[in-house]
Amino acid sequence: KWPARFHLTADLVALTIADGALQVAVVQRDSELACIDQKRNGDVQEIERDLKHHWALPGGHVDYQNEDIDEAAARELREETKIEVDETLLVQVGAYGNLGRDPRPGRTVSVAYLAFQPMFSEPIAGTDAKSARFMPVLELLTEPNRLEFDHEAMLIDAIQKVRDLVLTTSVATSFCPSEFTLSELREVYEVLWHRAYDKEISSKERQKFVAEMREYTSDENFQFLSSL
């Protein structure tokens, strides 16, 4: 009979490497307002949605009666993007519950999960998502694009998590097809450890890297981001 003041959600970071760059599945929520941390100080506010530049990681509320949190993460990805993942292979990144992370009524804590593989199915928007796609991580982390809530922190933390796993396990091969060359495996390491994905890098430095990426990817003589 108590009113719902405390909410639990699950978000999913689906990473892959395509065209020599790290990419992630994102959705655009079917809402006229976007929840953006405009000053990047942890104070998220609802503002008018920019249909070209405001994106979010797939995610949503956990069914508190019938669902584990990792099940919710896989379900939300499936419902919002039509991408299927094995929930037993998901890696937990962390829990996010800072006071200012969600301006909507109640207190919301989110548990972020990570999924990575060489290729996912093509995203198709569903349920409360207006659109869904894979985008280069660097594009999402630099202006004019913005991720909603604290999804930027989740994404950066997920990349650090992958780096840690690569150093201690054979997980790097999860980014490669079933048969791969040493060059393809080396590309995984070069992409993941590109300085542009470092947690400590400044926005100005990251903006420089994305400008270089745009220049190379628009050139007929495309070169891997890792070669910059």
What pLDDT is recorded for position 129? 84
pLDDT at 221 over 50: no
Convert 87-126 to b/e letters by CB count within 10 Å (16 or more is b): beebbebeebeeeebbbeeeebebbbbbbbbbebeebebe
Q: Which two tokens stand for residue 55?
A: 């994106």
What pLDDT is recorded for position 228? 46
What pLDDT is recorded for position 216? 63
What pLDDT is recorded for position 225? 47
Mean pLDDT of 104-128: 89
pLDDT at 222 over 70: no
What pLDDT is recorded for position 18? 87
pLDDT at 70 over 90: yes
What pLDDT is recorded for position 217? 56
**CA dihedral sign, ordered 89, 155, 136, 53:** positive
- Partners of 132 in the β-ladder: 27
**124-170 confidence digits (pLDDT tens):** 887 778 899 999 999 999 889 999 999 999 999 999 999 999 999 98
List of residues 6+ apart from 103 with CB closer than 8 A: 35, 44, 45, 46
pLDDT at 226 over 50: no
Mean pLDDT of 52-63: 95
DSSP β-ladder status, 146-147 and 54-55: parallel
Task: Judge contact between 186 and 163, C-beta under 8 A.
Answer: no
Cα–Cα distances (Å) from 211 to 10, 105, 131, 172, 228, in that order, read 32, 38, 25, 27, 11
Q: Which two tokens stand for residue 194?
A: 């590109």
Mean pLDDT of 22-41: 93
Mean pLDDT of 63-89: 93
The CA-CA-CA angle for residues 211, 214, 220, to 5°, reads 140
DSSP β-ladder status, 21-29 and 6-18: antiparallel
pLDDT at 38 over 50: yes
List of residues 6+ apart from 184 with CB closer than 8 A: 176, 177
pLDDT at 203 over 50: yes
pLDDT at 39 over 70: yes
